[in-house]
Amino acid sequence: MARFTTLFSSSSGNSTYLGTSSGGILVDAGKNAKQLEAALSAINVSPTEIKGIFITHEHTDHISAVRVFASRYGIDIYASKGTLAELRMQGHLNGKFNAIPIDEKGAVVAGIHIAPFRTSHDSRESTGYTAVFEDGRRIGIATDTGVMTQEILTALSGCDAVLLESNHDVWMLENGSYPYYLKRRIRSNLGHLSNDDCASALCRLIQTGTTRIILGHLSKENNRAEIARQTSVSALSTIGAVENRDYILRVASHDRPDKMLIF
């Protein structure tokens, strides 16, 4: 039985929990160790149950807690070679825990097979992850990508559940207060997915068997939960998919854990 929820999801911090009744893993560890411990406590998971932390990339909102949290509980971390090199250069790897490179073959941690796939972001070597549980359930996580590549779509196809970035509403971004260079960066192929891009991808994924959707990494300045939700629900309705019949959809909270999906 798979357990899946976001602990927090935004430009100020990201972490996702995946597990079973006997333990689990985190994808990313943003914010700080105290906040991460509190978030785990809120979903009744002890930090000692975390058997590995899988890092998507080296940006602060994804790795702030890594050094302290992994050191405190002796947790192995996994990431691409490029991401580990960046973490080492920035001083996040202190030798008090194992830092393990992960390639396309993946790794089995807490009884879950985790495999990376490349994403398109302005970082050293960013990845998303797919997780396959012992009962065959599959979960995919793809945030921080400026474009939905065929590699990402292939990796996510057939997943029972996905966490997919729905970062910004294009109109809000273009008419907001961000400077031009930042707007350009966000909308580039190395930036973040818009609501429309996310919705388009979901229309393809739901036809491969995805029935549980979490929209994540929403911008606090350039998006609203109701806008992101409605964009995806409207797009899915055009292919005949009806919410709460063909799929369930949630929008991840910026700064607190959401209700656990158990399936």
Q: What domains can be seen in the chain, in order of their start residue?
A: 3-258 (3.60.15.10)
pLDDT of res. 22 = 85
> How far apart are alpha carbons 252 and 152 in whole angstroms?
20
Neighbouring-strand partners of residue 185? none
Rounded alpha-carbon distances, angstroms, from residue 111 to 20, 32, 133, 245: 8, 27, 7, 31
Residue 132: CA atoms inside 13 Å, Cβ hemisphere, count? 12
Determine the longest span between alpha carbons in the chain, in angstroms.
Answer: 52
Q: Which phi and psi angles does 232 have, rounded to 5°?
A: -70, -45
pLDDT of res. 21 = 86
Residue closest to 149 by CA, chosen among 214, 193, 213: 193
* Side chain identity, residue 116: P
10-residue stretch averages of pLDDT, the chain, 263 residues long: 97 97 95 98 98 98 97 98 97 94 98 98 98 98 98 98 98 97 97 98 98 98 98 98 98 96 96
